[in-house]
Each structure stands twice: as C-alpha cells, then as structure tokens.
Amino acid sequence: MTQYERMINGLIYDTCDKEIMEMQRPYKEKLWQFNQLNPFDGEAKEAYMKEVFAECGDYCCIELPFRATWGGKNVHFGTGIYANYNLTLIDDGNIYVGNRVLFAPNVTVTTANHPLDPTLRRYEMQYNRDVYIGENVWIGAGAVILAGVHIGKNSVIGAGSVVTRDVPESVLAAGTPCRTIREIGELDREYFYRNDKIDWENLSGICEAKSKLPKFQ
C-alpha cells in the first residue's frame, strides 16, 4: 500500500512522501492564484471552488485570504455558504459542509492529527478523520474544529471555541473544550441580543422574499 493509499484509508502515513507532495503541488499553486484574485470578482472565486473543490453548490462566497492544505480538493460545500476572512481548512481528509453554513473570520477546520507517540511525530507521521458540519450552522470567530467532529444542523459554535467532540443539532455550544450551553428555542425567536427584541414585523417580508431564492430553498 502506498503512503497516499494509507492516507485516504485513514491509516498513519508519512506526510513528506514524495508522491503525496507532488500531488499537492498543483492544488497549492491554484490556491496561491485564487488568493491573488480581486476580492470583488465573485464569478472567478466561484469558478475556482467549482473546479477544485470535491463538491461546491451555487451561491458560495469565500473572502480572501483562504488557506487549505490541498487547496480545497477534499472540501464538500453545499449551497449558499459564506466564509469570512482567513478561513483555514486542513483538508487532508474530507470536510463536509451543509447548506447555508456561516464561517466567521479566522475559523480553522482540521481533519489532520498526529499520534501521541513521540517517535512517530518525529518522523512526521499523521492520520486524518473527516469532519461534518450540518446545514445552517454558524461558526463564530476564531473557532477551531478538530478532526473527526460532527456538528448538528442549526447549531451555533461560540467565538474562540475549540470543538473536540460532536455537537448536537439546534444548540449553542462554546468554550475550550467546546460544550453545549443550551438549546436554541423560543426565546431566540423573540430576542436577538440580550433584551433587544427582534422586530419581526419589519423582517418577515424580507425573509419571505429570500425564502423563494434558490439558496434558501
């Protein structure tokens, strides 16, 4: 079994293997070109994602700069995803992102991990575990999502959190390590910040109109 075959089969492998490094090179070069684009050229950015990513739906936007180990080769984007500045995806394994996910600035999602054994680390050994982020998730600024984590749909990850374990659906989770704070419920439909109420009478029309757009269906 080659080192690349070990890599894609979830085994410990040599990250400095010549075959792997040669396979990575064109993706890193394309990523460098992507980061030189005009930040307002949405069509060119979308064209890159659709060419390089394993999957990419419509209406996706990444603010530059963007970092990825394989340029996004192992990234699976749904529809209507927005990523703010400095998104880092360590996509040695697969990263699955559902529809309408929001990434705040400086978020890191990593599929890679190193063995605790010091000998294996010394020789640059690694293994990967896929990450799954459900639809309509919001990941706060500076959060770190670690290898193998599943985040349930409609959940919110607080800023600066380090997510080491799975997060269920429809909860607010935060902290280091990240833990569930509470469920997202009826009070969140009434208040958007502390005692500030949501003025649904002025927003419902906008929401209804947007619900008819393809990325909101």
Residues with catalytic function:
114
Length of the chain: 217
Residue whose token pair is 């064109």: 26
Eight-class DSSP state of 139 = E
Residues 6 or more apart in contact with residue 213 via CB below 8 angstroms: none
Residue whose token pair is 């394994």: 93
Q: Taking the C-alpha atoms of 152, 155, 159 and 164 in order, what is their torsion angle to the nearest 10 degrees?
A: -20
If DSSP codes are grouped into helix, strand and coil, which group holds residue 207? helix
If DSSP codes are grouped into helix, strand and coil, which group holds residue 170? coil
The pair of three-digit structure tokens given for residue 173, joined into one six-digit string: 């989770």
Q: In this structure, what are the phi and psi dihedrals at residue 183, rounded to the nearest 5 degrees?
A: -80, 150
